[in-house]
Amino acid sequence: MLSPLAYGLAVVLTLFVVFIGLRFLMAPRASAAGYGVPAKDDGDPAYLTIKGLRDLTFGILGLALIAFASAHAVGWYMLAVAIVPLGDTLIVLRHGGTKPVAFGIHFATAVVVLISAALMFAL
């Protein structure tokens, strides 16, 4: 019973990260607004592309680990990747974003990723 839940959550989370990465590559300004820190009109769009590529890569790596590695390896991946939404929380707070976005989206995501890591370690 725990295995389908653990793997299901891990797959959903990694597919969501792939989606976020693709969205940043295809609609960077709208994605930045959804992230919680809108992009400036005169800003360098390369940074939005970097975020898209980072997220897409993390998502694909997660899917590969889920498909080809042990649950323990996926747990370590999830634990390490939780740093990203925790950092995103601080970025949003430090750059004029709102607390509801910082905590309701980014910090909450970090908590769910940590729960996913714990479930994978429990297998």
Residue 70: per-residue pLDDT: 96
Tell me which residue range forms the domain holding 13: 2-122
User: Domains in the chain: how many in total?
Assistant: 1
pLDDT in tens, 2-49: 899 999 999 999 999 999 999 999 999 999 999 999 888 887 788 889
| 76-96 burial code (b ≥16 CB/10 A, e <16) | ebbbebbebbbebbeebbeee
**pTM: predicted TM-score of the whole model, two decimal places:** 0.91
Q: And the tokens for 92?
A: 């949003």
| Average pLDDT value over all residues in the chain | 94
CA nearest neighbour of 89 among 71, 75, 103: 103
Q: What 8-state DSSP symbol labels residue 102?
A: I
Q: And the tokens for 77?
A: 């991946």
* Beta-carbon contacts of residue 45 (< 8 Å; ≥ 6 apart): 28, 39
Residue 91: per-residue pLDDT: 95
